[in-house]
């Protein structure tokens, strides 16, 4: 499965297109299966119905843990770097991780969880988070990890959608100089979650927490009651491994479903090849496990390949903006995988923070989450990689399970701001608004995929129709990514951003509709429209246009703004707080009642010279008012 030269890549790519089944069967053979599959692929993109490795039986944790024990049982599997650099970290060898996952799996069983049950995981970035995820997989329970920055309401929505039976959390989390009371947030969430029977609470901050008799148990005490003997559950290749909620542009969270066999094969294949991982290397992915990047490239991909995965609890700017470089130096990191928003924010602190660290262990740099601008790309290349580490700008999505378009480190010639070429098995297609293929090079269009790869989503939890509508109905017969894309003269792909309405704030995906829903929940708000605008550090800032009830003449508009921010914080989380709020008397709407966002976007960007055609607006006068009041 290993690509080492550009010739290898071209050969692999050609085979993967000419005979995808033979190609992926070859890759999948390198894993440990309890029972081989009978058919490599069955699919259609109309229902859609996609099955890989049909009839194959396996357990992903046997591939991530057990099969490494003989050869590299004493090699570090996870290196944990705590938020506070003065606190001692933890290194877990494969043997230790195996042991702890089995114990945690037994704790889950003891608390009534079995195959197919859903478990919500709301944890700090500590080893126990990875252990919890793997423990679920060990016994065939389906994990739904919710990022530890989400609000009670967001957790409740996700728990209810998946009907989770159990929640794994901690008393609190440290993030930079903040302490987040996780358990108390969970308590608020659970008021509206009748499906939850048990809550397992780990001790991290030892902040006082309420422990409800019969429902809440301490993880440490539970672990004392179990042994480390837990045979892995035999899973079908197409049994659900996990649900992960994307930001959801319609407001209601969308539970992307990945299954055991295909996801494992794809995460591992892309990890090993894109980063050109070599045995013994230390891989540092700075994402949170609450996002797909953490699922695929902190937990499953690296562990399936027997790598050492570094898990960092804190933030890049704590205790100062040199923290990443400190970690690279301290742990001799070989592969660093981070996001453009982090790079841009660290750029702002100048080079002193970089220069006093030894970064010579670095071999490969990665970027993910949003388009990386040329300035950030060059800074990363010059000052972090010292022009000797290839940069892989990896384009992919929650729904794709792993990277789809990306350079292979040192193999594919890179080009700043380009995700370059499709990986083997990936068949991109650009289409125009009518779904007609745009052929040739030097063109741009909407990015679709015409053939499945093993890591593609299978459904959205509890609502297959939503999956069909969201991804497979815009252009019949194709998977639609929602992204716009340019294919240049060399056939290189560059992602130009989303064609729908989702914001990317500091690497966090937030649906405009989700923020609008939250604002509208505030008393006195009639309606709102949210758009993004370029923000130096965050990538995109949130600009909200709000129509409020008639207010008394002496009312304090600033106070109302602050109340709205508090509401958004409560409903979604602080990451979704608008950076700017403008009160307006109306919104520019088309006759069919659709808000003309492109106008609001232009005003938010401060570019009002040419607002384009506004004749289809119901009330064009409102545009002048909004322009005049822009903040
Ligand atoms: P939702 O589907 O609810 O809107 P989301 O798409 O915001 O959620 P993710 O699946 O984490 O959440 O993000 C995938 C998106 O991130 C891609 O569709 C693309 O817009 C953007 N993206 C990711 N990596 C890159 C990259 N290397 N270059 C450009 N854009 C990227
Ligand atoms: Mg998306």
The number of the ligand 1 atom at minimal distance from the alpha carbon of 367 is: 27
**What gap in Å lies between CA 369 and CA 331, rounded to an integer?**
25
Output the six-digit token pair for 474: 């815009």
The residues of the chain scoring below 50 in pLDDT are 248-251
**What gap in Å lies between CA 152 and CA 98, rounded to an integer?**
32
Nearest partner of 173 among 147, 199, 198, 142, judged by Cα: 147
User: How far away, in angstroms, is 503 Cα from ligand 2 center?
Assistant: 10
Specify the residue for token string 């990191």: 333
User: How far away, in angstroms, is 246 Cα from ligand 1 center?
Assistant: 10
The number of the ligand 1 atom at minimal distance from the alpha carbon of 495 is: 29
User: How far away, in angstroms, is 370 Cα from ligand 1 center?
Assistant: 6
The number of the ligand 1 atom at minimal distance from the alpha carbon of 247 is: 3
The tens digit of pLDDT for each residue in 528-559 reads: 999 999 999 998 999 999 998 877 777 788 88
Nearest partner of 195 among 266, 118, 134, judged by Cα: 118
User: How far away, in angstroms, is 206 Cα from ligand 2 center?
Assistant: 37
Kindly calculate the radius of gyration of the chain based on its CA atoms and give it in whole angstroms: 24
The number of the ligand 1 atom at minimal distance from the alpha carbon of 405 is: 27
What per-residue string of b and e applies to 139-174 under the rule 16 or more CB within 10 Å gives b?
bbbbbbbbbbbbbbbbbbbbbbbbebbbbbbbbbbb
Q: Which ligand is nearest to the CA of 495?
A: 1
Torsional sign, CA 208, 213, 214, 218: positive
Q: Are the beta carbons of 284 and 275 closer than 8 angstroms? A: no
**By alpha-carbon position, which residue is closest to atom 23 of ligand 1?**
369
Q: Which residues contact 468 (CB under 8 A, 6 or more apart)?
A: 47, 48
**By alpha-carbon position, which residue is closest to atom 17 of ligand 1?**
397
DSSP category for residue 593 = S
**What is the reported pLDDT for 249?**
41
DSSP category for residue 423 = P
Q: Which ligand is nearest to the CA of 503?
A: 1
Q: Which ligand is nearest to the CA of 245?
A: 1
Q: Which residues contact 23 (CB under 8 A, 6 or more apart)?
A: 12, 15, 16, 424, 425
**What gap in Å lies between CA 13 and CA 7, rounded to an integer?**
10
The tens digit of pLDDT for each residue in 169-195 reads: 999 999 999 999 999 999 999 999 999
Q: Which ligand is nearest to the CA of 402?
A: 1
User: How far away, in angstroms, is 505 Cα from ligand 2 center?
Assistant: 14
Angle at 260 between CA 419 and CA 482, to 5 degrees: 35
Output the six-digit token pair for 463: 């609502």
Q: Are the beta carbons of 282 and 335 closer than 8 angstroms? A: yes
Domains identified in the chain and CATH numbers: 60-66+88-233 (3.40.50.980), 508-629 (3.30.300.30)
Using left for φ > 0, alpha for ψ between -120 and 50, and beta otherwise, residue 146 falls in: beta
Q: Burial level of 126, CB count in 10 A (0-12/13-18/19+)?
A: buried
User: How far away, in angstroms, is 227 Cα from ligand 2 center?
Assistant: 41
User: How far away, in angstroms, is 609 Cα from ligand 1 center?
Assistant: 30
C-alpha dist (Å) from residue 591 to 260, 595, 606, 617:
47, 9, 25, 6
Residue to mutate, 398, 494, 517, ligand 1, most ligand atoms under 8 Å from C-beta: 398
Q: Which ligand is nearest to the CA of 496?
A: 1
**What gap in Å lies between CA 577 and CA 597, rounded to an integer?**
19
User: How far away, in angstroms, is 161 Cα from ligand 1 center?
Assistant: 22
Q: Which ligand is nearest to the CA of 290?
A: 1
Residue to mutate, 369, 404, 471, 517, ligand 1, most ligand atoms under 8 Å from C-beta: 369
Ligand 1 pocket, Cβ-based, cut-off 6 angstroms: 246-249, 254, 291-292, 367-371, 393-395, 397-398, 419, 481-483, 495, 498, 502, 509, 511
**What gap in Å lies between CA 159 and CA 122, rounded to an integer?**
11
The number of the ligand 1 atom at minimal distance from the alpha carbon of 398 is: 10
User: How far away, in angstroms, is 482 Cα from ligand 2 center?
Assistant: 7
C-alpha dist (Å) from residue 204 to 128, 159, 162, 555, 608:
10, 23, 27, 44, 50
The number of the ligand 1 atom at minimal distance from the alpha carbon of 292 is: 11
Nearest partner of 494 among 421, 562, 435, judged by Cα: 421
The number of the ligand 1 atom at minimal distance from the alpha carbon of 393 is: 27
Residue to mutate, 252, 370, 505, ligand 1, most ligand atoms under 8 Å from C-beta: 370
**By alpha-carbon position, which residue is closest to atom 19 of ligand 1?**
370
Residue to mutate, 248, 371, 372, 397, ligand 1, most ligand atoms under 8 Å from C-beta: 397
C-alpha dist (Å) from residue 624 to 480, 495, 614, 627:
36, 34, 11, 5
Q: Which ligand is nearest to the CA of 368?
A: 1
| β 428-431/459-460 pair status | unpaired
């Amino acid at each position: 499965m290993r690509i080492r030269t550009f010739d290898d890549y071209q050969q692999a790519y050609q085979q993967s297109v000419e005979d995808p089944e033979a190609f992926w069967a070859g890759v999948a053979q390198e894993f440990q299966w309890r029972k081989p599959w009978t058919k490599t692929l069955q699919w259609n993109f109309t229902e859609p119905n996609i099955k890989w490795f049909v009839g194959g039986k396996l357990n992903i944790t046997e591939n991530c843990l057990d099969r490494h024990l003989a050869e590299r049982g004493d090699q570090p599997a996870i290196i944990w770097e705590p938020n506070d650099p003065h606190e001692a970290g933890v290194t877990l060898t494969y043997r230790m991780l195996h042991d702890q996952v089995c114990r945690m799996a037994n704790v889950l069983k003891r608390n009534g969880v079995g195959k197919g049950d859903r478990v919500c995981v709301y944890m700090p970035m500590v080893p126990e988070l990875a252990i919890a995820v793997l423990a679920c997989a060990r016994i065939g329970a389906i994990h739904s990890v919710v990022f530890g920055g989400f609000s009670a309401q967001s957790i409740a929505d996700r728990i209810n959608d998946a009907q989770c039976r159990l929640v794994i959390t901690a008393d609190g989390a440290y993030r930079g100089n903040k302490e987040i009371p996780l358990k108390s947030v969970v308590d608020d969430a659970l008021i509206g979650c009748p499906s939850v029977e048990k809550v397992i609470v780990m001790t991290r901050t030892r902040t006082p927490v309420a422990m409800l008799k019969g429902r809440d148990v301490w993880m440490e005490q539970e672990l004392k009651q179990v042994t480390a003997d837990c045979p892995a559950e035999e899973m079908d290749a197409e049994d659900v491994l996990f649900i992960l909620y994307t930001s959801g542009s319609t407001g209601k969270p969308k539970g992307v479903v990945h299954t055991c066999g295909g996801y494992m094969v794809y995460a591992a294949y892309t990890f090993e090849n894109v980063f050109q991982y070599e045995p013994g290397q230390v891989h540092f992915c700075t994402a949170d496990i609450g996002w797909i990047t953490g699922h695929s490239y902190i937990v499953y991909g690296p562990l399936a390949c027997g790598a050492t995965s570094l898990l960092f609890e804190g933030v890049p700017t704590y205790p100062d903006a040199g923290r990443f470089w400190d970690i690279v130096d301290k742990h001799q990191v070989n592969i660093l995988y981070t996001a453009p928003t982090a790079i841009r924010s660290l750029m702002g602190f100048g080079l002193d923070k970089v220069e006093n660290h030894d970064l010579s262990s670095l071999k490969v740099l990665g970027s993910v989450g949003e388009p990386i601008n040329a300035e950030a790309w060059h800074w990363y290349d010059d000052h972090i990689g010292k022009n000797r580490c290839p940069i892989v700008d990896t384009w992919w999505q929650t729904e794709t399970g792993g990277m789809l378009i990306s350079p292979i480190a040192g193999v594919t010639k890179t080009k700043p701001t380009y995700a370059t070429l499709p990986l083997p098995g990936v068949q991109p297609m650009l289409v125009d608004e009518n779904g007609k293929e745009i052929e040739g090079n030097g063109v741009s269009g909407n990015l679709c995929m015409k053939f499945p790869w093993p890591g593609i989503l299978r459904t959205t939890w509890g609502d297959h129709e939503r999956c069909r509508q969201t991804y497979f109905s815009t252009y019949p017969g194709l998977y639609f990514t929602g992204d716009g894309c340019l294919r240049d003269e060399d056939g290189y792909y560059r992602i130009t951003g989303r064609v729908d309405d989702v914001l990317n704030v500091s690497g966090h995906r937030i649906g405009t509709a989700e923020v609008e829903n939250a604002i509208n929940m505030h008393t006195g708000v009639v309606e709102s429209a949210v758009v993004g605008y370029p923000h130096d550090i965050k990538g995109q800032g949130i600009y909200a246009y709000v129509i409020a009830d008639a207010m008394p003449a002496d009312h304090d508009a600033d106070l109302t703004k602050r109340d709205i921010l508090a509401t958004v914080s409560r409903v979604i989380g602080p990451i979704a707080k608008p950076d700017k709020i403008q009160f307006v008397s109306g919104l520019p709407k088309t006759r069919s009642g659709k808000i003309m966002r492109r106008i609001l976007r232009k005003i938010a960007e401060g570019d009002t010279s040419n607002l384009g055609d506004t004749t289809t607006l119901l009330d064009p006068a409102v545009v002048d008012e909004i322009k005049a009041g822009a903040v």
